[in-house]
Amino acid sequence: MNDEPNEKPNVMEVVGSVLAAFLGVQSDRNRERDFTKGRAVIFIVVGVLMTGLFVLTIWLVVRGVIGAAG
């Protein structure tokens, strides 16, 4: 992880923060880092991409289940 207080969060930290936000388990330390050092646009883009990936995964699973049942 990024221990330097003046450094922006790297890609893996952004992905980890978005995943934690999806699950509602973001730590105060990471949330504060994200709001003070991170750029909102990056978090929004990663969040939209991960939401799209989630919806695509659910769609594929449902299609597979319906196809297997038919």
Q: Dihedral angle at the C-alpha atoms of 24, 39, 34, 37, nearest 10 degrees?
A: 180
| Predicted local distance difference test score (pLDDT) of residue 53 | 96
Contact between 38 and 14 under an 8 Å Cβ cutoff? The reply is: yes
Q: What's the pLDDT tens digit per position in 11-37?
A: 999 999 999 999 999 999 999 999 999
Contact 46, 14 (CB under 8 A): yes
Task: Look at residue 61 in the predicted model and tell me its pLDDT.
Answer: 96
Altogether, the residues listed in the chain come to a count of: 70
pTM, two decimals, is 0.79
Residues 46-67: what's their mean pLDDT?
95
What per-residue confidence (pLDDT) applies to 7?
Answer: 82
Distance CA 49, CA 19 (A): 12
Pair 50, 19: CB distance under 8 Å:
yes
